[in-house]
Amino acid sequence: MTSRVTTFTEPAALRWQSVSPAAGAAMLAVLGLLSSDYVTTVLGFAFIYAIFCTGLNFFMGYTGQASFGQSAFAAIGGYGSAILCTDLGWDPVLALFATMALSGVAAVIVGYPTLRLRGHYLAMATFALGLIVYEITIEWTSLTQGYMGYAGIPPLGIVGFELPTVKHQLVALVVLALFGVAVANRLRRSRFGRALAAIAGSEPAALALGIDVARYKLIAFVIAAIYASAAGSLFAHFVGFISPEVFGVTMVVQSFTMLYLGGIGTVWGPMIGAVIVSVLPEALRGLKEMQDIAYSAILILVLIFVPRGLAGLSSLFARFRRNTEPL
């Protein structure tokens, strides 16, 4: 009798933990539809970063590797969509998939020799990759327009049908972000995901179990690059303009803040962190000169008292409830 109750309540709790963040994302979409275009734009940026951080989490959280160069693949996606749609007249969705494929190929070419490095050496190599692509976007003016950037990028659409307003595009971004999380979660729970977890735990132990560590790390790197490329392309279509500053060091720092604040290695952590980091500065804008101090203090307090990120609060509350229950 007891075992039946246990097997019934645990999946229900897991389902609730899985459904509640998705419901929260839907509520944010409704809030954006009922608010001004400025609020809608902020939320749109949040969900674009959610897609980017979901891919970064796949490589760093699930696989336990370090990557400071995902902004390079976001730049490929953003500039690829800008060039294909603005100069060649491609459909935005077709350009989105084409740049994702291009980023995947680039990740294979770059990742095959790079991922043989470990630890700080891998982090330095990926950071160099991001800097190289950033410099290319500045110096190759005949292709990227340099600091002038690309303007007139069409909004997201398919087969001639465009999403004309930021509110329409916000709904599409929320759907795509939720789809990206669902795909990442499905891969995480598969045999492939269990192999990545073994690699994150110990690469020598994973090798002893017969796991091709180099192959699995490369696949995870490619998946993260595809997510980053999709985020860069969506940013270009959402804003309608793109320039090198978007893919600089600031993007790396902000994505890391989102990932660790939300909860690295968790399913919903990237999305939660992206929303909080994007919305919190706007919520504190009324503090004026104290805004940066309050923002930094909140981030530090969260990282101190919730080291597993905001996505780990549910398990923390569950553990507290178990400890306080009478015997």
Q: What is the largest CA-CA distance in the chain?
A: 73
Tell me: pLDDT of 326 over 80: no
pLDDT for position 315? 59
Q: What is the pLDDT of residue 283?
A: 83
More confident residue, 287 or 220: 220
pLDDT at 82: 93
Q: What sign has the CA pseudo-torsion 227, 231, 234, 236?
A: negative
Kindly report, residue by residue over 163-174, the tens digit of the pLDDT: 888 998 999 999
Q: Are 154 and 95 in contact (CB under 8 A)?
A: no
More confident: 219 or 152 = 219
Query: For strand 241-242 and strand 150-151, is the pairing parallel, antiparallel, or unpaired?
Result: antiparallel
Domain chopping of the chain, boundaries: 21-275
| Per-residue confidence (pLDDT) for residue 1, from 0 to 100 | 38
Measured CA to CA in angstroms, residue 150 lies from 84, 139, 208, 268 at distances of 11, 14, 50, 33
Mean pLDDT for all residues in the chain: 85
Model confidence over 204-251: pLDDT tens digits? 999 998 999 989 999 999 999 999 999 999 999 999 999 998 998 889
**What distance in Å separates the CA atoms of residue 103 and residue 109, rounded to the nearest whole number?**
10
Q: In the chain, what is the straight-line distance between the N-terminal and C-terminal CA atoms, in Å?
A: 19
Q: What type of residue sits at position 269?
A: G
Cβ-count burial 204-228 (b if 16+ within 10 Å, e if not): eebeeeebebeebbbbbbbbbbbbb
Residues 6+ apart with CB under 8 A from 75: 133, 134, 137, 232, 244, 246, 247
The string of DSSP letters for 304-327 reads HH-TT-GGGHHHHHHHHHHHHS--
Band of residue 8 on the pLDDT scale cut at 50, 70, 90 = very low
Question: Could you read off the pLDDT of 178-193 as tens digits, one per residue?
Answer: 999 999 999 999 999 9
Using CA of residue 246, residue 221, residue 120, residue 46, what is the dihedral sign?
positive
pLDDT the model gives residue 3: 37
pLDDT at 12: 44
Q: d(Cα 216, Cα 205) in Å, to the nearest integer?
A: 14
* CATH class of the region 21-275: mainly alpha
Residues in Cβ contact with 122 at an 8 Å cutoff, skipping those fewer than 6 apart: 65, 66, 67, 114, 115
Q: pLDDT at position 316, please?
A: 56
User: In the structure, what pLDDT confidence band is assigned to residue 194 with cuts at 50, 70 and 90?
Assistant: very high
Whose tokens are 């730049």? That residue is 75
The DSSP call for residue 154 is P
What are the tens digits of pLDDT across the range 128-148?
A: 999 999 999 999 988 888 888
Give pLDDT tens digits for 300-317.
Answer: 888 888 878 887 776 555
Q: What is the spatial distance between Cα 111 and Cα 72, in angstroms, rounded to a whole number?
A: 13
- What is the pLDDT, as a whole number, of residue 19? 65
Q: What confidence score (pLDDT) does residue 228 get?
A: 96
Q: How confident is the model at residue 22 (pLDDT cuts 50, 70, 90)?
A: confident
State the pLDDT confidence band at 273, using cuts at 50, 70 and 90: very high
What is the predicted pLDDT for the residue at 162?
78
pLDDT tens by residue, 29-88? 888 888 888 899 999 999 999 999 999 998 999 998 888 889 999 999 999 999 999 988
pLDDT at 101 over 70: yes
- Model pLDDT, residue 7: 33
In the numeric block, the tokens 């891998």 are attached to 122
Residue 269 near residue 256, CB atoms below 8 Å: no
Question: What is the model's pLDDT at position 323?
Answer: 55
pLDDT given at position 290:
85
